[in-house]
Amino acid sequence: MHALDRKLLRDFRRLWAQVLAIALVLACGVAILLTSFGMYRALDETRAAYYQRNRFADVFVEARRAPLALLAEIAAIPGVQAVEGRVTGDVVLDLPGRVEAAVGRVLSLPDHAEPRLNLPLLRSGRLPDTPSEIAVNEPFADANGYRPGDTILANLNGRKRTLTITGTLLSPEFIYTLGPGALMPDNEGFGILWMRRAGAEAAFDMGGAFNDLALKIDASTKAEPVIDALDDLLDPYGGFGAYGRDKQLSNAFIDAEIRQLRSMAMILPPVFFGISAFLVAMVMGRIVTLERAQIGLLKALGYGNGAVCLHYLLLAGLIALVGIATGWVAGTWLARGLAHLYANFFDFPFVIFRIAPWVYGLSAVLALAATTLGATQSALRAARLAPAIAMQPPAPPKFTQSAFDRAMDRANLTQPTVMILRSLVRWPVRSALTALGLALAVASVMTASFMTDALDFVVDSAFYQSNRQHAMLIFQSDAPLSALQDVAHLPGVRQVEGQQIAAAVLRRGHHEKQVAIEARLPGADLSRIVAADGGARDAPPGGILLSERVAGQLDVRPGQTITAELLGGNQGTYTFEVAGIVPQYFGLGAYVDLEGFNRLLRQAPRVSVANITLDGARHDALHAAIKDTPGIAGTVMMTHTRRSFQETIRQNVTIMLTVYITIAVLISVGVGYNSARIQLSERARELASLRILGFSRWQVSYILVGELMLLAVLAQPLGWLLGRVFTGLMVRAFSSDLYNLPLVLKPATFSFASLIVLGATLAAVLVVRRRLDRLDLVAVMKTRE
């Protein structure tokens, strides 16, 4: 082993604490990169394999009622490979041992064959054979403890029927299963029921017809022409507008999650690699300064500039290798564990986990590039040192009294305080970079903790300001306004309000968006439209209120007009003036006046949903009545929805907050520890002199601790600004047609982030401060400047 190699290993062992602090920060960047790409690719590849094996459709559409003879014309559309016409509908379920009514979505299976598309995967038992048999989705069965042979009661077309469960299934259509009006999956209260076509036709009076259609198109065919042709064919039969796979509800949620993971891989790792480069630059710069004499001796013995430069680059490379190895292990473990959690959450029957070798290679290249970049300047400075100059102590820097020095004199500051402030001013680049590292730690905590405030705001807006009803009753089809009187007579109902929902395509110029228009009576109290100022708004007759996302996608402002093409049974195109734009955090919103809307349709007012408040003492009686009431397709208990949403989100936010706080602590400790060690090594003689001159141990410690803590305090405003930028990026990454997050930053968010970073920095500096107690004053004073 060459002498330089032995020196390299000795230096590496001697600097083990600083190496570990840097390597852990670097490992965070590597681990997050692997975890993000690992989860992203696991979700993407698992979904792709599942879709391919089970023949997931490319185009979907629902209709009121279309004849089976139309399927031949649909199959003749250019590019269509396969067509699956089905009967579907929602029913109220009476489950054994469950007081509340549940909701089931019935899907028909071909009578004597397997489906051509959206093939369900049999998990246990067998497929149904008779009209009184069903198969259910596995999460619903597991949540309620059902096994093949168990029975449930369903209100089918006004009649209660006993249905026997023959098996459990999983389907590519329902990887993320949401019931009507639900925000989160409710496997206990919502299930998918597969029934042979004969039984489904009888249940929904759909003999010789279908109301749900799925298409598979050729890979070389674009979906848009097929969708247009399909809409033309189904328009006379109440088509609700065809849409591609990207808008299929289950697939859309997975797409949103994949986009978030991709965004995380793009935003966070560069932060860690940048901080690692800065820390390496700090350490390597100080090492070269301390080893000037050794560098001169090495050159005098014949080592060239290249060998000296490579020596210090290799030391940075060893630090990178520790960080890469740690990051690979942690990232692979995290990615594998989270990929399986995602697979269970999204109801995949299997998970394909594979981190591509190029991802490992990319993380290693980025880590090596960061440390090399940080070490390059110091390594080149060492290589350029002439032997004669290197053997001499460095010339002391020349300082002149500045206006800042004169200001400190006039302020009558203590000598330790003056030393702290002079150090910051005379080494501005190092001070600025140290503050930047700590500011990034503050921003990291803010990025996670703002989610709590944002979600609290969303819960308050969605469940206490906008949707204040206790429950929603969904009718099987639009009912006359008099149906609300029948609902009012159900046990325990205190207040009733109705609203009508109509599918439509909104257009302005070349922009268009398919949404559900909600028509409400003026002064609605249970389901309200809440403006940005927190006040309730009503859509004026002839006007329409749009959510911010819809307005942005249509590029429309208040006072302008849009056209609405109604789908389903209410075909027609109407013009509305945009009366206002309102915030909305779930889905897409378009709101009109109920009476004015029905005047446009030239029909008596109708309702699709009844919003109700309840007497909690009669909860059981209400659900017993709902189970026996014909015409109700489903119920949404808003209290349960709110609780489920809060519990799920709280769990996810807790995990995220823990990860980000850990990240911030590692950054703070890495920056604080290395800065304090370098400061101690640079000022050891100076601090020892102060002790000999009579300064107390506390005063000397104040200089060491005070400089770093002052930088940490000065870093807070920059950290708050960066946190605001990062949270803005997170909000944009999370925004989709399914949900939006508001940018809510409370004072507590700023203070919490600052306390975490200040506490971690103080702990790191105090660890270094202990070395002051062990300073050998005589030995330190013998060292050359």
CB 156 within 8 A of CB 201: no
Q: Measured on CA atoms in the order 56, 59, 63, 68, is the torsion positive or negative?
A: negative
Report if residue 93 sits inside a domain: yes
Question: In 3D, which of 163, 27, 35, 7 has the Cα closest to residue 93?
Answer: 163
Query: For position 785, what pLDDT does the model report?
Result: 47
Residue 298 neighbours by CB distance under 10 Å: 22
Residue 481 lies in a domain: no
Final residue of a structural domain among 395, 423, 439? 395
* Shared domain check, 431 and 389: no
If asked whether residues 208 and 264 sit together in one domain, one would say no
Tell me if 367 is assigned to some domain: yes
Scored b (16 or more CB within 10 A) or e, 252-277 reads bbbbbbbebbbbbbebbbebbbbbbb
Contact 244, 101 (CB under 8 A): no
- Alpha-carbon gap, residue 370 to 23, rounded angstroms: 12
Answer yes or no: is 630 within a domain: no
Q: Do 728 and 649 lie in a common domain?
A: yes
Strand 543-547 to 572-582 pairing: parallel
What helix, strand, coil percent values describe the chain, rounded to 5? 55, 20, 25
Please answer whether residues 496 and 612 qualify as being in contact, where contact means their C-beta atoms are separated by less than 8 angstroms. Answer: yes
What is the DSSP track for 641-653?
HHHHHHHHHHHHH
- For position 781, what pLDDT does the model report? 52
Residues 523 and 457 in one domain: no
Tell me the whole-structure pTM to 2 decimals.
Answer: 0.78
Residue 568 · residue 240 · CB < 8 Å: yes
CA 527 to chain centre: 28
Give the residue from 222, 244, 266 where a domain finishes: 244
Its domain, for residue 237, covers 61-244
What's the CA gap between 202 and 108, in Å, rounded?
A: 11
Q: Of the residues 226, 244, 262, which one is the last residue of a structural domain? A: 244
Q: Is 685 exposed, middle or buried (0-12, 13-18, 19+ CB in 10 A)?
A: middle
Distance between CA atoms of 13 and 600, rounded to whole angstroms? 82
Per-residue pLDDT at 416: 77
HSE, side-chain direction, 13 A CA sphere, residue 185: 18
684 within some domain? yes
Judge whether 447 lies within some domain: yes
CATH code at position 591: 2.40.40
What's the number of CA atoms in the CB half-sphere (13 Å) around residue 519? 23
Answer yes or no: do 37 and 163 share one domain. no
pLDDT tens track for 402-460: 676 677 777 777 777 877 787 777 778 778 888 888 888 888 888 877 877 887 888 88
Domain match, 34 and 109 both: no
CB-based contacts of 282, cutoff 8 Å, min separation 6? 430, 433, 434, 674, 675, 678
Listed in order, strand segments (DSSP E) in 589-699 are 590-593, 606-614, 632-637
Joined together, the tokens standing for residue 92 give: 């109220």
| Residue 621 placed within a domain | no
Q: Could you tell me if 226 and 330 lie in one domain?
A: no
Secondary structure letter of residue 349 according to DSSP: S
Nearest-angstrom CA–CA distance, 211 and 785: 87
Q: d(Cα 505, Cα 239) in Å, to the nearest integer?
A: 12
> Where do the DSSP E strands lie in 119-178?
121-125, 133-137, 151-156, 159-170
Alpha-carbon distance of 605 to 498, in angstroms, equals: 10
Nearest CA to 716 among 743, 747, 674, 750? 750
Residues contacting 478, CB < 8 A, separation 6+: 500, 569, 606, 607, 608
In this structure, which amino acid lies at residue 22? I
Supply the DSSP symbol for 239. Answer: B
Please name the residue that has the structure tokens 């408040």.
613
Q: Which of 387, 402, 590 is nearest to 501 (CA)?
A: 590
Nearest to 607 by CA among 516, 476, 462: 476
Return d(Cα 674, Cα 19) in angstroms, integer.
9
Within the chain, how many helices (H) and strands (E) appear? 22, 22
CA dist 780 and 156 (Å) reads 90
Same domain, 255 and 238: no
Residues 276, 372, single domain; the answer is yes
Q: What is the mean pLDDT of each run of 10 residues along the chain (785 residues)?
A: 78 80 83 81 87 94 92 93 93 87 92 90 92 93 92 84 94 88 81 93 90 92 91 89 89 82 74 78 76 77 82 86 90 80 80 83 90 86 75 64 71 77 78 84 82 81 85 87 89 91 89 89 88 86 90 90 84 87 86 89 87 87 86 83 74 71 77 76 70 73 83 91 86 75 86 89 83 59 50
CA 294-297-300 angle, 5° bins: 155
The type of residue at 652 is N
Q: In terms of C-beta density within 10 A (0-12 exposed, 13-18 middle, 19 or more buried), how is residue 546 classed?
A: buried
Domain shared by 391 and 249, yes or no: yes
Query: Cβ distance 656 to 446 under 8 Å?
Result: no
425 and 298 housed in the same domain:
no
Question: Residue 660 and residue 727: Cα distance in Å, rounded?
Answer: 13
Model pLDDT, residue 615: 87
pLDDT of residue 297: 77
Same domain, residue pair 644 and 780:
yes
**Partners of residue 504 on adjacent β-strands:** 515, 566
- Residue 628 covered by a domain: no
What pLDDT was estimated at residue 775?
57
Question: Number of structural domains, the chain?
Answer: 4
Alpha helix segments (H runs only) across 246-304 = 249-290, 292-300
